[in-house]
Structure 1
Amino acid sequence: MLSKPSTCCVFLLICLSFTSCKKDNPDFPPGSTGAINTWISEQMEQYYYWSSALPSNQNVLLTPSDYFQSLLVPEDRFSSIMQTGRTDAYGNTLLNTFGFDFMQFTQGSRTVTLISHVVPGSIGERLGLQRGDTLESINGQLPTKNNLSTWVQQVTQQTSILLTLANGKSYTLPASYISQPVIYPSETFMVDIENKIGYLFLSHFDFSGGYDMLKAIEKLRGYGVEELILDLRYNNGGSVAFVAFTALALVNVQPNDVFVHYKGNGRLQNLQETFSQTLGRQPDGYSFSASDVRQKGLGLRRLLVLGTGHTASASEMLINNLRPYIDVIHIGSVTYGKDMASTTLTTPASVAGSDPSWLIQPMVYKIYNAHDQGEYNAGLQPQQTIAEYSVQPLYPFGDKRDALVAEAITQLGDGQKQMKSNTNEPVKASAEPHLLFQSAPYRAKPILLRPPAEQE
Structure 2
Amino acid sequence: MKKLYYLLLLSVFFTTISCFEDLDDNIKPNSASNATIQDFIYRGLNYFYLYKADTPELANDAFASEETKSAFINSYGSPEAFFDYLKSDQDRFSILVADYIELENALGGVTLNNGMEYGLVLYPDGSGNVFGYVRYILPNTDAAAVALQRGDIFNTINGEQLTETNFRSLLSPDTYTIGLATYDGTSVTPTNVTIELTKTAYTENPVYLQRTIVVNGERIGYLMYNAFTRDFDPQLNAAFAQFQSEGIQHLVLDLRYNGGGSVETAVDLSAMITGQFNNQTFYTEEWNADRQEEFSAPGLFNTEISNGDAINSLNLSQVYILTTNRTASASELVINGLTPYIDVKQVGDDTTGKFQASFLLYDAPAPIFSRSQANLTHTYAMLPLVFKTLNATGNTDFIDGLVPDISLREDFANLGILGAENEPLLAAAIAEIATTRSPNYNFSVLKEVGDSNMGNLLEGVMVVD
Say if 1:16 and 1:345, in contact at 8 Å, map to a contact too: no
**1:320-331 paired onto structure 2 within 5 Å:** 320-331=336-347
Tell me what 2:25 maps to: none
Q: How big is each residue's C-alpha offset from its partner over 1:126-182, in whole Å with a ceiling of 9 and x where there is no partner?
A: 3221101233533223323x32xx424432314343453556654332221234322
Tell me what 2:315 maps to: 299
In structure 2, distance between residues paired with 1:142 and 1:405: 33
Which of 421, 426, 431 lines up with 1:400 in the alignment? 421
Tell me what 1:385 maps to: 407
Which of 224, 232, 238 lines up with 2:247 in the alignment? 224
In structure 2, distance between residues paired with 1:219 and 1:85: 37
Tell me what 1:47 maps to: 48
> Aligned-pair distance for 1:273?
2.5
- 1:173 and 2:188 aligned: no
Say if 1:82 and 1:89, in contact at 8 Å, map to a contact too: no
In structure 1, distance between residues paired with 2:103 and 2:262: 23
- Cα 1:199/1:191, change in 2 over 3 Å: farther
Which of 259, 264, 276 lines up with 2:302 in the alignment? 276
Say if 2:35 and 2:73, in contact at 8 Å, map to a contact too: no
Tell me what 1:236 maps to: 259
- Cα 1:123/1:33, change in 2 over 3 Å: closer
Q: Runs of 5+ in structure 1 lacking a partner?
A: 1-13, 19-29, 417-428, 450-456
Tell me what 1:26 maps to: none
- 1:131 and 2:155 aligned: no
Q: How big is each residue's C-alpha offset from its partner over 1:80-108, in whole Å with a ceiling of 9 and x where there is no partner?
A: 222336879999x9983443314435568
> Aligned-pair distance for 1:433?
2.8
C-alpha RMSD of the superposition: 3.6
> Aligned-pair distance for 1:216?
2.8
- Cα 1:88/1:137, change in 2 over 3 Å: farther
- Cα 1:208/1:67, change in 2 over 3 Å: closer
Partner amino acid for 1:386?
A: L
In structure 2, distance between residues paired with 1:94 and 1:133: 23
- Cα 1:102/1:39, change in 2 over 3 Å: closer
Partner amino acid for 1:216?
A: A
Q: TM-score, normalised by structure 2?
A: 0.75
In structure 2, distance between residues paired with 1:240 and 1:314: 6
Tell me what 1:4 maps to: none
- Cα 1:77/1:191, change in 2 over 3 Å: farther
Q: How big is each residue's C-alpha offset from its partner over 1:330-351, in whole Å with a ceiling of 9 and x where there is no partner?
A: 1111111111112322213999
**1:105-116 paired onto structure 2 within 5 Å:** 106=123, 113-116=132-135
Tell me what 1:423 maps to: none
Partner amino acid for 1:55?
A: P
Which deviates further from its counterpart, 133-142 or 401-410? 133-142
Tell me what 1:65 maps to: 80
User: Runs of 4+ in structure 1 displaced over 6 angstroms?
Assistant: 85-91, 108-112, 349-353
**1:346-425 paired onto structure 2 within 5 Å:** 346-348=362-364, 355-389=377-411, 392-414=413-435
- Cα 1:200/1:276, change in 2 over 3 Å: same
**1:243-282 paired onto structure 2 within 5 Å:** 243-268=266-291, 269=294, 270-276=296-302, 282=306
> Aligned-pair distance for 1:17?
5.8
> Aligned-pair distance for 1:185?
3.6
Say if 1:104 and 1:437, in contact at 8 Å, map to a contact too: yes
Say if 1:238 and 1:446, in contact at 8 Å, map to a contact too: yes
In structure 2, distance between residues paired with 1:212 and 1:84: 29
**1:137-156 paired onto structure 2 within 5 Å:** 137-144=156-163, 146-147=164-165, 150-156=166-172
Tell me what 1:100 maps to: 117
Q: TM-score, normalised by structure 1?
A: 0.76
Q: How big is each residue's C-alpha offset from its partner over 1:226-247, in whole Å with a ceiling of 9 and x where there is no partner?
A: 1111000000112222112211
Q: Runs of 5+ in structure 2 lacking a partner?
A: 1-8, 14-30, 63-71, 183-190, 367-372
Partner amino acid for 1:129?
A: L
Percent identical among aligned pairs is 23
> Aligned-pair distance for 1:382?
1.0
Tell me, what secondary structure is at the counterpart of 1:200? strand
Tell me what 2:332 maps to: 316
> Aligned-pair distance for 1:61?
2.5
- 1:197 and 2:217 aligned: no
- Cα 1:433/1:330, change in 2 over 3 Å: same
- Cα 1:121/1:345, change in 2 over 3 Å: same
In structure 1, distance between residues paired with 2:400 and 2:11: 28
- Cα 1:59/1:341, change in 2 over 3 Å: same
> Aligned-pair distance for 1:446?
5.2
In structure 1, distance between residues paired with 2:111 and 2:449: 14
Tell me, what secondary structure is at the counterpart of 1:276? coil
